[in-house]
Homo-oligomer: A and B are copies of this chain.
Amino acid sequence: MAKLGSEHSSDAAAVTINRRVMEVCDSIGDFIEYWGFKGIHGRVWALLALSAEPLAQVQIAQYLGVSRSLVSGVIAELVDRGLVRAVDSSRNSPYVALTDFWPTVASVLRSREWMLLETVRQSLEGFVVDAERVGGDSIGQIYNLRRAYTLIKMTETAQNILRLLIGYPTAATADRMTQWLGHVGALVKRFKT
């Protein structure tokens, strides 16, 4: 049966397609770098997503031109995050990509972004509490307490928005997201006027 990166790759058409696939892998890699992953995660995932058949780690390493050791670690993380799944439970099982990645994105937002915001909020609160307690009168000469309160409020708002995003159903399917988008779009339009 035909396999990705097979002996037919000397064929001109296959070379063209392979280049296209690499472009997809690279662009998805670049994109995902800004979402808490490394570029290589996106490239491996994209390759699995475009492949008609499950791929073994060696094939992935060969196709992408990276070492087996790198693929090993990356696959482990992708499986851990629920973006990739082994076909069976054997040691040398090939892998497939999962396309319902909303749970993963939500999880990333939950752990990473939430914690960052919460740290900001707590540090701001610590500041204003201490400023009011030990600051005395002159504190307003040095620090802008009112602005600190504004920042706290903004942080809380950001946390509320984040909560909303995280709480979004499951649906990473294009259909549902489009539907959801329609609702929000109508709403925003109403809010704008």
Chain B residues in 8 Å Cβ range of A143: 4, 17, 21, 50-52
Q: Could you tell me the dominant secondary structure of chain A's interface residues?
A: helix
Question: How far is A2 from B138 in the complex, measured between Cα atoms in Å?
Answer: 8
| A174 and B192 contact, CB distance less than 8 A | no
- Is A104 an interface residue when CB atoms closer than 8 A count as contact? no
Q: Nearest residue in B to A36 (C-beta to C-beta)?
A: B34
Chain B residues in 8 Å Cβ range of A124: 24
Copy tally for this chain in the complex stands at: 2
| A157 and B178 contact, CB distance less than 8 A | yes
| B13 and A134 contact, CB distance less than 8 A | yes
- Knowing that A20-B126, A53-B142, A183-B187 are A-B contacts, what are 12 other residue pairs whose CB atoms are under 8 Å apart, sorted by A's residue number? A4-B142, A13-B135, A16-B130, A17-B139, A21-B143, A23-B126, A24-B120, A26-B123, A27-B119, A99-B147, A161-B181, A169-B192
Which residues of A are at the interface with B, using a C-beta cutoff of 8 A? 1-4, 6, 13, 16-17, 20-21, 23-24, 26-28, 30-31, 34, 36, 49-53, 99, 112-113, 116-117, 119-120, 122-124, 126-127, 130-131, 134-136, 138-144, 147-148, 150-151, 153-154, 156-157, 160-161, 164, 167-169, 172, 174, 177-181, 183-185, 187-188, 190-192
